Chains A and B, each alone.
Chain A
Amino acid sequence: MWRTEADLLGDVLALAAAITLVGASFGALAVTAGLPVWLAMAMSLLVFAGGSQFLVVGVLAAGGSPLAGLVGGLLVNARHLPFGLAIADVIGCGPVRWLGAHLLIDESTAFARAQDEPHRARLAFWSSGIALFVGWNVGTLVGAIAAGRIGEPEAFGIDAAFPAALLALLLPGLRGAADRRVAAGAAAIALLATPLLPAGLPVLAALAALGLGRESAS
Chain B
Amino acid sequence: MSVWVAVLALAAGTYALRLAGPLLAQRLTVPVRVQRMLGLAATAMLAALVTTAALTDGSGFGGWARAAGVAVGAMAAWRRSPFVVVVVLAAVTAAALRALGVE
Contacts and interface: CB of A to CB of B under 8 A. Distances in A.
Majority secondary structure of chain B interface residues (helix, strand, loop or mixed): helix
Interface string A151-184: 0001111111111111111110110001100111
Contact of B91 (A67, A80, A157, A202): A157
A149 B20 CA distance: 40
A73 B10 contact: yes
Chain B: interface size category:
35 or more
Contact of B14 (A49, A194, A202): A49
Chain A: interface size category:
35 or more
B1 A160 contact: no
A14 B84 contact: yes
Contacts of B66: 157, 159-160, 163
Nearest to A185: B44
Contacts of A157: 65-66, 69, 90-96, 98
A153 B49 CA distance: 19
Contact of B84 (A11, A97, A158, A162): A11
B73 to A, nearest CB: 3
A130 interface: no
15 contacts: A52-B14, A56-B7, A66-B5, A83-B45, A85-B25, A98-B19, A104-B18, A110-B46, A155-B98, A159-B94, A160-B54, A166-B46, A183-B46, A190-B52, A203-B48
